Structure 1
């Protein structure tokens, strides 16, 4: 039985959410709280597997509650949020604070959304969540890097990031540390419910110095541009452009990291694949393809990854295993000699 703690200042919402969670019989709502302060007082005694959090509450709001839980007693947190743009913006911001899942508040008649909520709880219930250490002793030496290839100098490099649960806590610092004049385009495949992609793009624009665009139409990779897939689609490099592709029906994780990485492995360019915190093994197959094609492959290390699933699965394909403070340096050094303006010798 999966034990869930529900935090929402609306009694009606608590009752509805409890009914939705307990419908299949394998999830039990063990307690509810109407405020962040009440939740913190009850949390240690109840010791739930998963906490669901509403963001708009009196007193201590949901963002502060999430940050406090992750600092004091880390555990999987799912944000249950309303449908307006402001609430979605706050929900995506909560993933920077440590929330691992995002779901919309839905009515009792929406059976499909209720089932998705329960599936999200099941996927996160056994995740080992820890507050990442500030640094590790890893080092990006470049000793295993393949030699520069002359053919790669004629294509704009693409630095591709793959992440899932816990990924934003690593992704935003890495992107912020990259120099604005980086001679590469950026592509991000971060698992998100389709309704939250626009909010994710807005948060990116507020945090980083690169231009952010969603590939509703094919995008020419250019230095200083970061590309996302529209909600519910994959992102690929095809015919020299980053474009969306219909995702596999029923895919739980979207956009798929493997799809993006494999598209980069098959073409010329000093491309980089980076696997950050996430649940499952998406990205491991694509990172192996990139390594075999002579690209730079990086995996976030255990000390700084909130969820060690995706990085652990991709370890065997990594030329570098780095903490979040070293990834930007490795990318910059790689591009310095391998990008269009670099030297091949």
Structure 2
């Protein structure tokens, strides 16, 4: 089998050397070009037709975000953003214009190296499409993360009927953006999300999603009360659960935990507390995290949904759930918002603004 052809784009020679050493260690990946700025990356992508590009974001001449947009406009190539967590907000804008994954810059840790290798091997085979350039007017300045204000949720009762729990991994941020951005204000259920993510990037993801959604988005805080119409993201270093008092609880992830955060832990907790009022959704991603939790929701009488293969970046977690027989409805990504609105019995307000 021919080696995977990769271009590295980073203005730091040391960073390029680290990436080159990791990627070429097993002989199945070939570095066919190296770029010190975004413009060089665009030219190498056009001339060398690599199977994947690793892209830094902060570079001279042309930054990584602009380079990704240009590459995806001319000829789609799988792109993995490799960035410092300080650039997390921009990294998620990179996903919006076509990048597939965001990873932290690897250090000398073997776990970092293996994570990078597995992602490059997996994503080099993903089919991507060319994209239209964003209009200048479409560019958005992300809004600050909106934290829940204590007090608005009913204390005597939970204030909602159903709870939506979403599990996702590789390709998940893009899927979440498309799904959550179509949910209207007044959505009557809280939404809790376990997205596999590297430490340091969850705040940037919350800010990015918050700039796209009508609903408030925040990183979950231990002890806060679940509110209808609010989206909560689990931080990667913790496991998210819900309590009988309708509050969120964060506990440190066990050392042996394979996935961060654990989708199964969150889904099992929602199933145990909310039973038939639980709605479990499993989206694109690698591995099988979430299958056991989705089974718990199904056995508790809840509803289970999965993203279909055609709309998934990686048909992995969701495929495992479908094959295990724990999914009631398999839907395209663009069909999921309407299905969720039906499941939570959303009724639009008849009120209209005065003309």
Q: TM-score range by the shorter chain?
A: 0.7 to 0.9
RMSD value, Cα: 2.9
8 A Cα contact 2:291 2:321, kept in partner: yes
For residues 247 and 132 of structure 1, the distance between their equivalents in structure 2, rounded to whole angstroms, comes to: 37
Structure 2 CA distance for partners of 1:313 and 1:237, relative to 1, 3 Å: same
For residues 186 and 327 of structure 1, the distance between their equivalents in structure 2, rounded to whole angstroms, comes to: 14
After TM superposition, the structure 1 = structure 2 runs for residues 72-83 of structure 1, keeping only pairs within 5 Å, are 72-75=75-78, 77-83=79-85
Q: Which residue of the partner structure matches residue 104 of structure 1?
A: 104
Q: Which residue of the partner structure matches residue 261 of structure 2?
A: 255
Q: Which residue of the partner structure matches residue 121 of structure 1?
A: 117
Give, in angstroms, the shift of residue 7 of structure 1.
Answer: 0.8
- Asked whether 1:93 is paired with 2:98, we answer no
For residues 253 and 175 of structure 2, the distance between their equivalents in structure 1, rounded to whole angstroms, comes to: 25
Aligned residues: 313
Structure 2 CA distance for partners of 1:64 and 1:299, relative to 1, 3 Å: farther
Structure 2 CA distance for partners of 1:68 and 1:303, relative to 1, 3 Å: farther
8 A Cα contact 1:156 1:222, kept in partner: no
User: Unaligned regions of 5+ residues in structure 1, if any?
Assistant: 135-152, 339-345
8 A Cα contact 1:49 1:126, kept in partner: no
After TM superposition, the structure 1 = structure 2 runs for residues 222-241 of structure 1, keeping only pairs within 5 Å, are 222-239=227-244, 240-241=246-247
Q: Which residue of the partner structure matches residue 334 of structure 1?
A: 343
Q: Which residue of the partner structure matches residue 314 of structure 2?
A: 307
For residues 203 and 52 of structure 1, the distance between their equivalents in structure 2, rounded to whole angstroms, comes to: 21
For residues 256 and 133 of structure 1, the distance between their equivalents in structure 2, rounded to whole angstroms, comes to: 33
For residues 70 and 281 of structure 1, the distance between their equivalents in structure 2, rounded to whole angstroms, comes to: 30
Give, in angstroms, the shift of residue 126 of structure 1.
Answer: 3.0
Alignment equivalent of 1:191, drawn from 192, 196, 199: 196
8 A Cα contact 2:53 2:77, kept in partner: no
Give, in angstroms, the shift of residue 22 of structure 1.
Answer: 4.3
Q: TM-score, structure 1 length as denominator? A: 0.80
8 A Cα contact 1:8 1:34, kept in partner: yes
Q: Which residue of the partner structure matches residue 264 of structure 1?
A: 270
Greater RCO (CA < 8 Å, at least 6 residues apart): 1
SS of equivalent to 1:189: strand
Structure 2 CA distance for partners of 1:184 and 1:83, relative to 1, 3 Å: closer
Q: Which residue of the partner structure matches residue 221 of structure 2?
A: 216
8 A Cα contact 2:80 2:102, kept in partner: yes
After TM superposition, the structure 1 = structure 2 runs for residues 1-345 of structure 1, keeping only pairs within 5 Å, are 3-22=5-24, 28-43=30-45, 46=48, 48=50, 50-69=52-71, 72-75=75-78, 77-84=79-86, 87-105=87-105, 110-112=107-109, 115-127=111-123, 128-131=125-128, 156-239=161-244, 240-268=246-274, 270-315=277-322, 316-336=325-345
8 A Cα contact 2:76 2:129, kept in partner: no
Q: TM-score, structure 2 length as denominator? A: 0.78
Give, in angstroms, the shift of residue 43 of structure 1.
Answer: 3.4
Give, in angstroms, the shift of residue 304 of structure 1.
Answer: 1.2
Q: Which range moved further: 95-104 or 310-319?
A: 95-104
8 A Cα contact 1:50 1:125, kept in partner: no
For residues 117 and 162 of structure 1, the distance between their equivalents in structure 2, rounded to whole angstroms, comes to: 25
For residues 172 and 247 of structure 1, the distance between their equivalents in structure 2, rounded to whole angstroms, comes to: 26
